[in-house]
Amino acid sequence: MIFRICALALLLSPGLAMAAPGGLDVSGTINWISDAPVEKIIGTADGKASLTVDFADLSTLKGTFTVAVKSMKTGNEKRDSHLMGTTWLDAEAHPEITFVIKSIKVGEAPTGDAVKTATVEATGDFTCHGKTKAITAPVTLKWKGKKVKISTVFEVSLDDYGIEGKSGIVGNKVGKTIAVNATFKGKAN
């Protein structure tokens, strides 16, 4: 009888069903901007992530975000092929850009009723062009039942990841830092 009551409670309340750490599969688009004195390049990339989180305790958020380098687009095919080349991101040698969450700093308590919203600070290992560096980024989480939306904004310095490009291009036609804005959506498993 107790088992039946518990099972019924879990079925009726998605919030309760997610109280235990659960898996999340999310995917989304990453928008990035290189703002240099000569040229502003706006691009996109496709990303996905496998995460685990207990929404009752957001500090349990763990997982890896992955972006396929070959999915990066700038609106000019020749420029895209240069971007994949050895002088830039070297897509053959380093096909993925990843961010592995190591720790989460939870700020204020989640707000909202039907849609819960919370902002946390995610610290983790950002790997690009074969080099890894610890970064911290603000992450906004929204969830409603089993549906989840994760968004973040941060900057990547090309110098930190050994991306030199052709001489004289970085800081002139390509920004020294790239502004990244990513939004992922998905469902809890």
Question: Which of the stretches 5-13, 14-22, 39-47, 152-160 binds another protein when contact is defined by CB under 8 A?
Answer: 39-47
Question: Which of the stretches 35-43, 53-61, 102-110, 130-138 binds another protein when contact is defined by CB under 8 A?
Answer: 35-43
Q: Which of 17, 22, 31, 64 binds another protein (CB under 8 A)?
A: 31
**Residues in region 97-126 near another protein by CB under 8 A:** 115
**Residues in region 68-97 near another protein by CB under 8 A:** 73-79
Q: Which of 14, 25, 29, 70 binds another protein (CB under 8 A)?
A: 29
- Rounded Cα gap, residues 129 and 127, in angstroms: 7
Output 169-177 pairs: Cβ under 8 A, ≥24 positions apart.
171/36, 171/37, 172/36, 172/37, 172/38, 173/36, 173/38, 173/39, 174/34, 174/36, 174/39, 174/41, 175/33, 175/34, 175/35, 175/36, 175/41, 176/36
- Rounded Cα gap, residues 97 and 128, in angstroms: 5
**Residues in region 126-165 near another protein by CB under 8 A:** 142, 144, 147, 149
Nearer to another protein, 52 or 140 (CB): 140
Q: How many Cβ atoms sit within 10 Å of the Cβ of residue 116?
A: 18
Nearer to another protein, 136 or 183 (CB): 183
Q: Which of 173, 176, 177, 179 binds another protein (CB under 8 A)?
A: 173
Contact (Cβ atoms closer than 8 angstroms) between residue 150 and residue 184: yes
Tell me which residues touch another protein (CB under 8 A).
29, 31, 38-39, 42, 44, 73-79, 115, 142, 144, 147, 149, 173, 183, 185
